[in-house]
Structure 1
């Protein structure tokens, strides 16, 4: 018997609850795909053919104005050779999957209507949403944003949520990738109320417990800092009881609530960076994912204005990616080319070095870096995200990293497979 066996046993007992809490509160990533963006569409403008229509418009914009490698390189601020790699991938993406995540918006993008009008448009939207799925035109991820649980809009938001969920259920199941967005959260109690609402709807429609999940939109000061000085988002994640899938930053509501003038409201304003840093720390290790916000400067108007908007959008997408926000919002078909182009350039630009380091880590050969297991996980996640969105191919992974997708998945999420023996 070891001299420390008795001590170890006492410490195991002493820390048993701490160990259990760590697993419960910080389960880490589940290894599934995260969309690169969420497209918000006002509910009264949504139809069953919206996705292919947006894709066709986006592809026309890209082909006509952006596909030339020299032009694309200037928009993305990358070398023409990289732009030449990215251009055909973007064209293929816009043809096959222009939108990864779609949110049918009954909140700010939709506005306030009479109850009878909104009820009718919820029914139309859910019928169109089902038709898009039946016709093979649905996005991989989808859902609705309903009105907030603040007192003036609570009943209306709850009615819309209930009505849409009821229409979305088929044989006591919600489709994979279905998620709803809870906006303008100002109190932990609102998240607790959302959990109660989800439980009620699951019981009503014979759904499995936990089937209905939601995102928390971070667009109020209280979501970042509560009156008692604690980080609101951290307590909100805990209050969600495992139902919260993501924290989505709301650029303009949040900036306005802090008194930032309209001309200065942007994704890269210092107040935005502070809020997103708090979100990032609060979500770390929880499995709750992060999304940056949007730019409301759209690629419309004359060609010079559109090029300026594309350069801005591409820069902001890349800035978010560099800072660990792998998802954002898009609001217009002409933003899709730069969303995918900037995303693909990010992953392709970093892929060679990441593949070399990961291969060296697995094979225990020199790479010039002394990488720890945590860094290896980050390298694997980088490559896996590139695979998920189509920026990197399986063949390239096998050739450059000497690893197939399943091996990369195990390295990115060791809890789902074997730990590397290092």
Structure 2
């Protein structure tokens, strides 16, 4: 009886099983950057990353004060403050930017075609130089204008020029990614796939290698005219090319009529949009990225401190809500990005390691952890390692696994 019943269930559920495996493949097995840094195309050159790093270190030195003062300012636990500070300083030396986006959209604006053509070629040449000198951030690419009718041709031309220049220089890497702005329909995602296929053919780029992120900054990306959310269909329409959903704080808030003074990453409309994004991306391997704050750490010491407190709090808020990436728009935001992020992982390391080790060894941590929780615990620790908040040697000491074993646990 059981054999016949199981065969019947296999037959009945075969289509659903296949759909589940296809639509929800799980973790992609790659590192997610903690942020995306946006630089207007006309302000980017091969020295930009170094300039941002120097400016970030200067801001920290000029306005950070002592370790204890900085910890009090940002409400970081004192017992982790010195350790976090040292790691952040080292990060700003070693890898100040994890993900760089050269912006041809709002940050660049509308220019005459000859100007944007020249900017696209020049920026691609500068990025190629960074690739060749191994100074490029792990993730890097460009944001193009939307596929709405008024900007469609300009966005495609810029992308074609940029990719062509990189391909010709042999500088297209696995870390290259494109951000598509102001997406309003599933059809635009289908069109983007057609564009990428054509560009790959034109420049002899391996089929399927060009990936892109969907920028979620319009009401239509969250709720379609038929009353459903189009995001799951957008991910599917991307045919395996969609790597991220990026929230656009200010365009989205403005589109919903939120007054400028109240547009924020923590406004209720922002939280609703990001909840939908997280649901749509869950299990697909697509990363979710929060937006930015437009309160910049510039001006007097008091103004810098106020902006740092806000940025640090917002970064921590996103992390606590399971959104591990956000936008940074100014070099002086890098210190608080890493201070808040590193503090988050250092604070949680001991408890996460204790629980995970007890789960693996059958011990008692005081928690009844299930396999899904163990995966989440491993993922937490792995993210900390990947961004530099945690040393790989600590994993062996605290959990008795190596980095490869931890990766398997986190991405199973």
Question: Is the pair's TM-score, using the shorter chain for normalization, greater than 0.5?
Answer: yes
Q: Deviations over 1:224-274 (max 9, x none)?
A: 000001112122111111110000000000000000000000000000000
1:417 aligned residue: none
| Secondary structure, counterpart of 1:91 in structure 2 | helix
2:254 aligned residue: 256
Structure 1 CA distance, aligned partners of 2:19 and 2:404?
29
Structure 2 CA distance, aligned partners of 1:173 and 1:311?
39
Q: CA deviation at 1:131?
A: 1.3
1:338 aligned residue: 336
* Residue 362 (structure 2) aligned to one of 343, 361, 364: 364
* Residue 245 (structure 1) aligned to one of 235, 243, 249: 243
**Structure 2 portions without partners, runs of 5+:** none
Q: CA deviation at 1:208?
A: 2.1
Q: TM-score, normalised by structure 2?
A: 0.98
Structure 2 CA distance, aligned partners of 1:115 and 1:67?
47
Structure 2 CA distance, aligned partners of 1:205 and 1:7?
54
1:206 aligned residue: 204
| Secondary structure, counterpart of 1:44 in structure 2 | helix
2:153 aligned residue: 155
* Residue 164 (structure 1) aligned to one of 162, 176, 187: 162
Q: CA deviation at 1:70?
A: 1.6
Structure 2 CA distance, aligned partners of 1:287 and 1:379?
18
* Residue 283 (structure 1) aligned to one of 274, 281, 285: 281
1:419 aligned residue: none
* Residue 61 (structure 2) aligned to one of 50, 60, 63: 63
- The answer to whether the aligner puts 1:115 opposite 2:113 as a matched pair is yes
Q: CA deviation at 1:85?
A: 1.5
1:217 aligned residue: 215
For the Cα contact (< 8 Å) 1:63–1:91, is it kept in 2? no
For the Cα contact (< 8 Å) 2:128–2:169, is it kept in 1? no
Aligned residues: 412
* Residue 314 (structure 1) aligned to one of 312, 325, 339: 312
Structure 1 CA distance, aligned partners of 2:44 and 2:391?
33
* Residue 352 (structure 1) aligned to one of 339, 350, 353: 350
2:47 aligned residue: 49
Structure 2 CA distance, aligned partners of 1:91 and 1:63?
10
For the Cα contact (< 8 Å) 2:197–2:207, is it kept in 1? yes
1:143 aligned residue: 141
Structure 1 CA distance, aligned partners of 2:171 and 2:302?
48
Structure 1 CA distance, aligned partners of 2:153 and 2:390?
45
Change (3 A) 1:171 1:117: closer
Change (3 A) 1:176 1:100: same
2:12 aligned residue: 14
* Residue 75 (structure 1) aligned to one of 73, 87, 94: 73
Structure 2 CA distance, aligned partners of 1:384 and 1:411?
9
Structure 2 CA distance, aligned partners of 1:82 and 1:26?
38
| Secondary structure, counterpart of 2:36 in structure 1 | strand
| Secondary structure, counterpart of 1:75 in structure 2 | helix
Q: CA deviation at 1:94?
A: 0.4
Structure 2 CA distance, aligned partners of 1:406 and 1:387?
12
1:420 aligned residue: none
| Secondary structure, counterpart of 1:143 in structure 2 | strand
Runs of 4+ deviating beyond 4 Å:
170-173
- The answer to whether the aligner puts 1:269 opposite 2:261 as a matched pair is no
Structure 2 CA distance, aligned partners of 1:165 and 1:131?
14
Structure 2 CA distance, aligned partners of 1:169 and 1:153?
24
For the Cα contact (< 8 Å) 1:75–1:314, is it kept in 2? no
Structure 2 CA distance, aligned partners of 1:75 and 1:131?
39
Structure 2 CA distance, aligned partners of 1:139 and 1:175?
11
* Residue 384 (structure 2) aligned to one of 376, 383, 386: 386
Q: TM-score, normalised by structure 1?
A: 0.96
For the Cα contact (< 8 Å) 2:131–2:171, is it kept in 1? no
Structure 1 CA distance, aligned partners of 2:211 and 2:346?
32
For the Cα contact (< 8 Å) 1:101–1:140, is it kept in 2? yes
* Residue 235 (structure 1) aligned to one of 227, 233, 236: 233
| Secondary structure, counterpart of 1:15 in structure 2 | helix
For the Cα contact (< 8 Å) 1:31–1:412, is it kept in 2? no
Taking only aligned residues, the RMSD between alpha carbons, in angstroms, comes to 1.1
Structure 2 CA distance, aligned partners of 1:124 and 1:209?
25
For the Cα contact (< 8 Å) 1:220–1:254, is it kept in 2? yes
For the Cα contact (< 8 Å) 1:172–1:206, is it kept in 2? no
For the Cα contact (< 8 Å) 2:63–2:304, is it kept in 1? no
